[in-house]
Amino acid sequence: MTTFVADLEPRALWAHFDRILATPRPSKQEAAMRAYVREVAATRGLEVREDGAGNLVVAVPASAGREAAPIVVLQSHLDMVCEKNSGVEFDFERQAIVPRRDGDWLYATGTTLGSDNGIGVAAMLALIGAEEVEHGPLELLFTVEEEIGLNGAAALDPALVRGRTLLNLDTEEEGALYVGCAGGAGSELALPIDTMFGVEGRVTVAVRVAGLLGGHSGVDIHLQRGNALAILARLLHPLWKEFQFEVGSITGGNLTNAIPREAEAVIRLAVEDPGAFEKACRAALAEIRAELAAVDPGLEIAFAPAECGPEVWSDATAVRLLALLAALPHGVLRMSDEIPGLVETSTNFARVRSEPGVLQVSMSNRSSVDAALRAVQRRMAAFAELAGGEATQSEGYPGWKPDLASPLLAITRRVHERVLGSEPRVLAIHAGLECGVLGARLGGADMISIGPQIEHPHSPDERVGIESVGGFWRLLTATLTELARPA
């Protein structure tokens, strides 16, 4: 055991985490971790079940006298995000993570630590042979490829898991019980472009919107930051009637789970119009900048000479597609009725690409209510139809609707107050978690998600609070004991 964790409590949990740090585990390369799970299970002669995706379940017998208690499923994922600082030489497929300690924080040396979700995995392994913890029958579910799309959970063989009470150990916030998450599905709009030869002698200009903060299209969508594509369309659509500029292309956005920070249109103006057009754009932008001043103050616009091929959008195409882009929704569509401040349903106007004969528009839709998510997808299809195009819908992943009447939530809440001395925050997140996928695969389950304090996950600044791990362990074990008591 490394000196950084040798004196930490609970000792068994930290000993397993030390081994996990030494075990390479990028997504799709979890074989060594599966072998370690089997090794630990073999020390107690425990049954291990595996499905075709590589997910594992270790069946842990109940403590004496608690055999009749309902099966409780504990779940964590085996893979980690592999990120390192520039200039750091590190091979995540072969090298052990090198931990460092600074007071109450444990972190890595220029790389991600993997406490997401390594602490959860370590806690589950520590329960094997933890004679001091009274519990009913347990199923320890270890999933794979979470970090690249919840793939293991999505491919889970339901026959692998018999319990329907599930504790996910992948929350990164102490003092919080997570009870819901959003599902997600993309809509790809393919909109036909008819072209014509542009008028000779026109001035070609690139109009660029930039300077925005962007952010995650789930957890940041409620901040009402600017969307560069929506702003660009808002500027261009009303000005077309005045200037009747020719459109060469419109592009913007990158990842579908990111709010677009930049967008650009290449247009051709009559030789006498660039000055007046720029003045009109800047006047309209001043209004938008005032709207966003408190949340996204860096909005800016730039005009630069550009090049454009001989063919441009036809006037009819320009009218049709500029109207569509200006009408497409972006942002929060509905807030949760159960949890104050939680976004229930949203859409992100994520990306536009101009391709030969077609404008490709990507919308990223999220909701914790599956019916609402499907309704948003149908809405996007209707937009495409109105513009003479068609929409392709991704299958996506299901959400997890908060159930504030959950028996598991009530028990864990009471245990948190008794063991940790504080009332927990009951929260949900407008992003994807394995719980949503697992609930669908299992045909329903009573679920919550808990975990220690982990800051800056998915980055080399990742760190885990040592004291919070102790609190997480006490909450977990006391909850298992409470769940094993006769009703």
Which sequence positions are flagged as catalytic? Answer: 79, 146
The residue to which tokens 């709010």 are assigned: 259
Long-range contacts of 267-270 (CB under 8 A, 24+ apart): 267/204, 267/205, 267/207, 267/236, 268/198, 268/199, 268/202, 268/203, 268/204, 268/205, 268/308, 268/312, 269/202, 269/203, 269/205, 269/243, 269/245, 270/199, 270/202, 270/203, 270/243, 270/245
CB atoms within 10 A of CB 259: 29
Secondary element (H or E) of residue 358: strand 358-367
Burial class (CB in 10 A: 0-12, 13-18, 19+), 315: middle
Conformation bin of residue 32: beta by default, left when phi > 0, alpha when psi is -120 to 50: alpha
Burial class (CB in 10 A: 0-12, 13-18, 19+), 179: buried
Query: Angle 11-21/115-126 helices, nearest 10 degrees?
Result: 130
Secondary element (H or E) of residue 454: strand 454-455
- Could you tell me the CA-to-CA distances from 29 to 26, 79, 141 in Å, in that order? 5, 8, 17
Task: Provide CB contacts within 8 A for 266, sequence distance 6+.
Answer: 204, 205, 206, 207, 247, 248, 249, 250, 306, 307, 308
Q: Which two tokens stand for residue 410?
A: 């009530």
- Could you tell me the CA-to-CA distances from 286 to 231, 253, 280, 293, 304 in Å, in that order? 12, 22, 10, 10, 19
Nearest to 20 by CA among 8, 3, 32, 4: 32
How far, in Å, CA of 107 to CA of 102, rounded? Answer: 8
Tell me which amino acid residue 319 is: V
Structural contact between residues 318 and 246, judged by C-beta atoms closer than 8 angstroms: yes
How far, in Å, CA of 412 to CA of 476, rounded? Answer: 9
456 half-sphere exposure, CB direction, 13 A CA radius: 15
Nearest to 62 by CA among 136, 127, 7: 136
Structural contact between residues 123 and 29, judged by C-beta atoms closer than 8 angstroms: no
How far, in Å, CA of 187 to CA of 222, rounded? Answer: 20
